[in-house]
A and B are shown apart, each in its own frame.
Chain A
Amino acid sequence: MSDRIADVYGTRTPHSRGTVWPARVDQFLDPDVDEADVERWVQSACLLCSNGCGVDIAVKDGRMVGVRGRATDMVNHGRLGPKGLYGSTRWANAGDRLTRPLVREGGRLVETDWETAMGRIVERSKALLEEKGPLSHGFYTSGQLFLEEYYTLAVIGKAGLGTPHMDGNTRLCTATSAAAFKESFGADGQPGSYTDIEHCEAVFLYGHNMPETQTVLWARILDRTRGEDPPKVVCVDPRRTLVALEAERTGGVHLAPRVGTNMALMNGLTRELFEHDWIDHEWVAEHTLGLDDLREVVEPYTPEHVAEICGIDPEELRRAARIFGESEAVLSTVLQGFYQSHQATAASVAVHNLHLLRGMIGRPGAGVLQMNGQPTAQNNRECGADGDLPGFRNWDNPSHVQQLAEAWDVDPMTIPHWAPPTHAMQIFSYAEAGTIGLLWISATNPAVSMPESARIRRILGGDQCFVVVQDLFLTETAELADVVLPAAGWGEKTGCFTNVNRTVHLSEKAVEPPGEARSDLDIFLMYADAMGFTNNSGRPLIGWRTAEEAFDAWAAITGDRPVDYTGLSYAKLRGPTGLPWPVNEQHPDGTDRLYADGVFPTDTDYCETFGHDLLTGGTVTEQEHRAMHPAGRAFLKGAPYSPAHEEPSEAYPLLYTTGRTVYHFHTRTKTGRSRDLNRAAPDAWVELSARDAEARDIVEGDWVRVESPRGAIEVRARVGNVMDGAVFAPFHYGRWEPSEADGGGHPDAEHRQANELTMTVWDPVSKQPTFKTAACQVTKVRSGDGPSPAPTTTASAPVREPADGRRRPRRTEGGGPTSSTVLDETPDYPLDPSTPERGR
């Protein structure tokens, strides 16, 4: 029995390069449930990070009582992480679930029935359409809905109403991943595969604290680094994370650039490849465009110059570049340290450049994984509920719009393609001004997760915009809504979702939702019915009633697009493993990695975008794109480094950066309702380096005030592993607290929200907000009476044992018992290049 709060990654199963990752089946059941009592195991996939682990849900007496990893699933080979184990099902039985719709009456939210609640929405919606037209409507979704729900909403928004104002909180977590793919390769789509881990000689993690964001994937890497012929790890992160420790252990490098200087670092690495001619000239000539321009852009970035900008040792930069330049197979992974920073898209594209220069893409071990923050973010991108057109179609290409108009049987003019899709921050600005008069938010919590929280609360709480929220709980956002709709969650409805690795999983309904809660799909269908949206033939615009019908309708419009689902069906997904798209006649079992042939979706008539100026976000025109004649070649695009929007000053001398802990997901809506997870990270904290703490007379556990030009928080200090001059705050904690019995009742609940301090500013191309660069000051408020609540297991570990015994942090442990069984015989995984008969 293992305590997976203390032992986050579980038992090691080390193995050597090029062999199949062994299977290990992890299981958690509620304390009062015996395995023999489980009545049914229902197929699904985990929804608590973007890794997408295959899982079976245990059902007893009509309740979800636990989970077990699916041994045969190619994503996780049976493993689950602490969030998946302890957090998947407990929220479902929480006492504070929303079970009835709520409407605002005299300033208060009161219970009502569905007809009344939906009636109010439809009344407002119709009045706005009449008065101001479709641009008065905005939709803000999530990385938590299912594919069928995104697609249905996309059709409602794009073909029913005709509004370009659709986005998701995927904008906060994954927009840069999509944008970087589009700029380099012409369309969204993960080139690499998790199986690259088994074959790489080196793995580079850029701004990616994988041990806390995707624990099962990190376990997969640990099983290589602790086995024979391990890869070198290179870590780019301003914190001394577990990745950094592994880099030191494997003979790799930890590069800790100053917050906001990623682009300078990337230009330095790129220049080193040119300098040492670590370039595959033949491959580059055949498969890429833009070599000379890139060389010119990076020319000024000598190691010494970069070292000065980034505050690193030039020799370390040279060493990291040498590892990249001399390895035959490098896997790169990228996440929020790049995506939520200044120059996000340009820096992420620079990772692609390194791979393209060395021809290291499309073969086992040589790949790129631009990660996602959320489990269903990929579907939002694919289905077009985030503003993109469904099927990675180009809104600037009339024939792509025509394809959708024909599929939906509507006038192409209805489909809002005449301007770039409106991004989340702009949607909230329109809502602020009241030109969006109806904002519909599903399954997300912007009151906590968006930058500059005070402003977001003002927008949601004001009279200028009618706000609809559908969620599982009365979140900080729902509290501000005009109508609240109770939604069914994971395990209470059926649908599919797709992970970082393009792997599609079916998640079956295991139990009934509580009270009158309905699936998000049913809610959207109810709205469509009530609005009476019809197509050109006078039939209902949405021609489906069930999730499976929605899936089939979606698959039907993906043929001939990179994101090809035509070979997938619910029947096929009820097999032993999820399957990675494209799945079609040519690839009936899916596709492990893209671009094996070095042909990219950049053809002018096929691509998803004509591209952008990486510094300004100005769009490349069709004519300009055609003139370059990309014809399947990838783009090498460079950009000079420019300083962050907000540099430290006398008043705000420190750099503020936000992030995650392994024990929570997003704003804790689910994980905060798992006692095991909540006890592990019960309250907010802020991390300071030992030097910065000492300079302010701050010791472990002291109450400190962290202030930026926009707001302040007062939380306890962890003297930890951030670099000097940087301050780290976890973004999970809003006002909401579980009951005191479940570990709530913290005195700082009203002043601990990390986004009070962040800026309203975003990347010019991906429009992802910059959560990781703001200036701040930290001052001591009063002495603490114990250690800070920060976990000790991960990057938030204390830098050293405090002299004062009372301040010694308690070891983070005490998770309920889970089982973990290493299988004697590893199952066969389709597509896995390590499987002997498939060869390498």
Chain B
Amino acid sequence: MPHLTTYVGLADHSEKTLADSFRAVAIGHAHIADVHHTCRMLADWSDANRDALAPILERYGEADDVDEPERLHAAGLAQTREGEIGLLRDLQDLHVLASLVQTTWTVIAQGAQGLRDPELLEVAQSANAQTSRQLTWLNTRMKTAAPQALIVAP
């Protein structure tokens, strides 16, 4: 199961990237109160998913020889943009990252079922549900921000 091991590592890595990126957006748009506070909370959710995965990660060990999913490793948001249109783009980037996280959990859940690993399955399913909530908020917030950013903002 070398590929599943790789994916477990990918989940851990991409959740970390997502958490870091949420925090970067929280700081970069700190003057927008709901974005600031919600992004910090959603970063904590990603941390919690990693915490839940930690014992399993130890059990499966680190993958070292399968490089294909490496191409999936997305770079996080090191820097945020400015203004209303900048916020929109940053949220969109977060959405891309969160989508990667979610599909990773989906794939892992399939593997866990095949392997009959209930512990991993539980982690993957609950993390997937939390990622859905992150995506829902991002979607809602983008819809809110879009008209003003696209039409009126300088």
Contacts and interface: CB of A to CB of B under 8 A. Distances in A.
Interface residues of B, number: 24
Nearest to A642: B41
A764 B153 contact: no
Interface in A751-784: 759-762, 764
B139 A616 contact: no
B136 A616 contact: yes
A759 B139 CA distance: 26
Interface stretch (B4-12, B57-65, B143-151): B143-151
B75 interface: no
B38 A764 contact: yes
Nearest to A613: B133
Contacts of B144: 419-420, 422, 426
Interface in B104-154: 133-134, 136-137, 139-140, 143-144, 146-148, 151-154
A481 B22 CA distance: 38
A806 interface: no
B84 A433 contact: yes
Interface stretch (B13-21, B29-37, B88-96): B29-37
Contacts of A760: 33
A132 B152 contact: yes
Contact of A619 (B32, B42, B140): B140
Given A132-B151, A420-B140, A618 B133 contact: yes
A164 interface: yes
Contacts of B143: 418-420
Contacts of A764: 34, 38
Given A617-B140, A645-B37, A419 B151 contact: no
B151 A617 contact: no
Given A420-B143, A435-B148, A616 B33 contact: no
Given A420-B143, A425-B33, A433-B84, A615 B136 contact: no
Contacts of B139: 618
A598 B80 CA distance: 50
Contacts of B33: 425, 759-762
A527 to B, nearest CB: 21
A135 B147 contact: yes
A429 interface: yes
A136 interface: yes
Interface string A400-436: 0000000000000000001110100110011001110
Contacts of A429: 32
A761 to B, nearest CB: 5
Given A419-B146, A613-B137, A619-B136, A435 B41 contact: no
A614 to B, nearest CB: 11
A616 B153 contact: no
Contact of B152 (A133, A419, A425, A618): A133
Contacts of A435: 84, 148, 152-154
Nearest to B150: A135
B137 A617 contact: yes
Contacts of B153: 433, 435
29 contacts: A132-B152, A133-B151, A135-B147, A135-B148, A135-B152, A419-B147, A422-B144, A425-B33, A426-B144, A430-B148, A433-B83, A434-B154, A435-B148, A613-B133, A613-B136, A615-B133, A616-B38, A616-B133, A616-B136, A617-B137, A617-B140, A618-B136, A618-B137, A618-B139, A620-B136, A642-B41, A759-B33, A761-B33, A762-B33
Interface of B: 32-34, 37-38, 41-42, 83-84, 133-134, 136-137, 139-140, 143-144, 146-148, 151-154
Q: Which 8 A-B pairs have the closest CB atoms?
A: A618-B136, A618-B137, A616-B137, A435-B152, A761-B33, A618-B140, A135-B152, A619-B140
Given A132-B152, A645-B37, 11 more contacts: A135-B148, A135-B152, A164-B147, A422-B144, A433-B84, A613-B133, A616-B133, A616-B136, A617-B38, A620-B136, A759-B33
